[in-house]
Amino acid sequence: MKSNAMTAKLVTLKLEGDLETNGFHVLLEIGEDGDRPDIEAIGSLPPNPVLLQQLQ
């Protein structure tokens, strides 16, 4: 039986790429703090040069 006690989670979001031309490769990891991730998700985000201009 699982306890309802709150446990610390570690969430890691890694982005590799750029907004202007290539977009980003994305890696999301979620797990208990101090352990290996229970969940890993890989995806991508498209380039967005308009957002880049707004951020500058």
pLDDT at 12: 97
Residue 10 has what pLDDT? 95
CB distance 9 to 33 below 8 Å: yes
pLDDT tens digits, one per residue of 1-56: 566 677 889 999 999 999 999 999 999 999 999 899 999 999 999 999 999 899 88
- pLDDT of 50 reads 93
Enter the pTM of the model.
0.73
Q: Is the dihedral of CA 14, 17, 18, 21 positive or negative?
A: negative
What is the amino acid identity at position 23? G
